[in-house]
Amino acid sequence: MTGWRYADPMNPVTDFASFHAIIPAGGAGTRLWPFSREAKPKFLLDLTGSGRSLIQQTWDRLEPLIGAGNIHVVTGPAHAEAISAQLPGLVHLIVEPSPRDSMPAIGLAAALIEREFPGAVIGSFAADHVISDTAQFAIDVAQAVQVARTGKVCTIGIRPTEASTAFGYIEAGNPLSVDGAPAAVEVARFVEKPDQQTASRYLASKTFAWNAGMFISSAEVLLGHLAELRPALYDGLTAIAHVWDTDDRERVLDDRWPTLERVAIDHAIAEPVADSGGVAMVPGLFDWSDLGDFAALSDLSKTPDDVVFLDADGLVIAPKGKAVSVIGISGVVVIDTGDALLVTTTEHSQRVKELPAAWKERGREDLI
Amino acid sequence: MTGWRYADPMNPVTDFASFHAIIPAGGAGTRLWPFSREAKPKFLLDLTGSGRSLIQQTWDRLEPLIGAGNIHVVTGPAHAEAISAQLPGLVHLIVEPSPRDSMPAIGLAAALIEREFPGAVIGSFAADHVISDTAQFAIDVAQAVQVARTGKVCTIGIRPTEASTAFGYIEAGNPLSVDGAPAAVEVARFVEKPDQQTASRYLASKTFAWNAGMFISSAEVLLGHLAELRPALYDGLTAIAHVWDTDDRERVLDDRWPTLERVAIDHAIAEPVADSGGVAMVPGLFDWSDLGDFAALSDLSKTPDDVVFLDADGLVIAPKGKAVSVIGISGVVVIDTGDALLVTTTEHSQRVKELPAAWKERGREDLI
């Protein structure tokens, strides 16, 4: 690949017929503590001040394209109620008994969708990412759907804006010729989170994208790969899907779910299938952030009226009306939730994930 | 002077007969905002966590030595009520209509004391300094009182612990031979707040002390100097003192007070009198802090249980139970008063005084 090719925005293909979106909604988001808590994880929070939580924003991107009936959210028992409350239009809420990483969650949704909507194309989208250019998002997803219809697994690669070591990378291969997906390329390989030097090389090469966990394929193709690559997991998920709409659901879930392999879809399917040439990529030309830590949030935030900075800049989140003054700290991160206060800098924001454990050790379960 | 000479702690002279203490209680303490406010200045706050405010601690140091009847507090109308509430034993509360710096405040008290207690020795002590070694304080003040009885103005110089540019300095001269004041020396001169290089030189010389505004002299001597050096101010203060206990007090105060020169006792008396050899110094061998900013407070504070520091240290003041976490900031200053939050470092703590004006400009009078 010799740089990013652009889809024709004057003539976009947006054929979402029989396309279903899967939104795995898990993950504690401890790097955003004390803003995110176990009971109120990142995807339930309005982190951008838009008035909508991240999962609501995810819904808002997808629902106009494919309709409420084609959206499937997978979550744990602790958050099912809050999700239903935030997404009153949600029809398909799949509650997994316990978190077993992304492959069982997406695989179960795929099996259920394939049973109810045979021939469906499915795509997975994180519940807690931020994308504001929804028009471009639609164009790029539509291209990925076209690619998926050719039997490939298609990912949407995020254009790197910096030499980040926080993401896995996708190396682009040769262009493909897929009708309605002019931007699609082969995927040469997936690579794990690199060290700083490697990340800089990837960024300079212009042939690597960030892996944001967006995988689009026909349900049948995905389940076929799973059957071949992870037969035990495939069997377990199929057995559960088989009795999903019967009185046996709970018994079979209790029986099989705890035995399923904990594995990410990247490892279970994307990497091995890419090695055999079965994965394509559409470059995502929309803006994107995973809001992985306060440094990422800082990039998106505006300084509220209740903040005075003297020789300072950064991120301040505090109760409305609270007067926050910061002097002499560049890239400051101040998160005041009333019961807890975090003060750090964007440079140290990755270490925030150590805090819930530190407070638990002090007996402050109320803060977790 | 060749270093500090020590009083004999086994045989201290502590003759406080006819000694009266004047405590000027003014000053907003804006460098401790938002902990200190206009309505609740520094001296009314329990800044050391001792359970007593700074003015209460000042009272606690003096009252056992000289009795409640010999303590005179000078303050403005805004704080008279709060001071009376904090010091229920206070007999002499002098309310000045408006702040006109330390000379009018101390001079008025001196004139009133001289009228009621002829022959009194008076000493001025700031309302908001911290001294924990009260036994040594008593010994040093007693020496200064002995020196004052010889007709000199005597100051108590604070031993510098660093090359601070925040204080004026006092240069020690030759030793004096005063009965009961073995540590007393002449004062060669008073100098203004120095630059960093000069301060370092002063510290290294071991002949300079910090000026903490403690001046002890007979009331008659002080008023005599004032009559000679600032005759208009002397006249005004004498006129006010003359009618203090009559129905004319308010009328004369209203008439004369606004016309009095705004001047510090250092400039009005200490400096010129030192130049003519009339000022002595007793070195203060007690610990001392003026808590001038959060850096000074940081030196005294202990880290509360509700704070987690990761690669961080500094000062945290927050409501009880609030969980404060700081990552990666050395010398951090975090002051959470509920309605306001200040985040800075000890290095920048002098700039805190700019904040009240900044918030006033934003219409947040409630924070001043």
Phi, psi angles (nearest 5°) of residue B123: -145, 140
Res A348: pLDDT = 94
Q: Cα dist. B205→A131, A251, B139, B170 in Å?
A: 65, 86, 25, 12
Q: Do A355 and B310 touch (CB under 8 A)?
A: yes
10-residue mean pLDDT profile of chain B (368 residues): values are 45 77 87 89 88 96 96 96 97 95 97 97 96 93 96 97 94 94 96 96 96 97 98 97 96 96 96 96 95 83 86 92 95 94 94 94 92
In angstroms, the separation between the Cα of residue B224 and the nearest Cα of chain A is: 47
Tell me the pTM.
Answer: 0.79
Task: Provide the mean pLDDT of chain A.
Answer: 92
pLDDT score of A296: 84
Instruction: Check residue A61 and give its pLDDT.
Output: 96
Angle between helices A231-242 and A219-229 (to 10 degrees): 130
Cβ atoms of A236 and A263 closer than 8 Å: no
Q: How far apart are CA B106 and CA A139, in angstroms?
A: 79
Separation between Cα atoms, residue A141 and residue A147, nearest integer Å: 10
Superfamily of domain B19-284: Spore Coat Polysaccharide Biosynthesis Protein SpsA; Chain A (3.90.550.10)
For A151-174, the DSSP string reads T-EEEEEEPPSS--SSS-EEEEEE
Give residue A12's pLDDT: 54
DSSP B304-350: PTTEEEES-EEEEE--TT-EEEEES-EEEEEEE-SSEEEEEEGGGGG
**DSSP string over A11-62:** S-----TTEEEEEEE----GGGTTTS-SSS-GGGS-TTSSSS-HHHHHHHHH
Q: In what order do the strands lie in the sheet with A323-327?
A: A307-310, A323-327, B340-345, B330-336, B313-317
In this prediction, residue A11 carries a pLDDT of: 53
Count the neighbouring beta carbons within 10 Å of the beta carbon of residue B234: 19
Nearest to A137 by CA among A241, A16, A40, A221: A16
Torsion sign over Cα B156, B158, B159, B165:
negative
> Where do the DSSP E strands lie in B28-127?
71-75, 92-95, 121-124
Which residues are B209's β-sheet partners? B170
Residues for chain B: how many in total? 368
Question: Does pLDDT of A8 surpass 70?
Answer: no
- Among A24-28, A312-316, A361-365, the minimum mean pLDDT is found in A24-28
Q: What pLDDT does residue B39 have?
A: 85
Peptide bond into A34 cis (omega under 30): yes
pLDDT at B2: 35
Interface test mutation site (partner A, options B327, B333, B347, B364, max chain A beta carbons within 10 A): B327
In chain A, what is the straight-line distance between the N-terminal and C-terminal CA atoms, in Å?
A: 46
Per-residue pLDDT tens over the stretch A74-109: 999 999 999 999 999 999 999 999 999 999 999 999
Nearest residue, CB atoms, B308 vs list A305, A332, A359: A359
Exposure letters A232-247 (e unless 16+ CB within 10 A, then b): ebbebbbbbbeebeee
Q: Tell me whether B320 touches chain A (CB under 8 Å).
A: no
Q: Where in chain B is the domain with CATH 3.90.550.10?
A: 19-284
pLDDT digits (tens, 9 = 90+) for A107-117: 999 999 999 99
Query: Contact at 8 Å (CB) between B81 and B153?
Result: no
Binding-face residues of B in 8-67 toward A, CB within 8 A: 34
Cβ B362–A324 below 8 Å, yes or no?
A: no
Do the chains contact at B340 and A325, CB–CB below 8 Å?
yes
Q: Of residues B122 and A39, which shows the higher confidence score?
A: B122
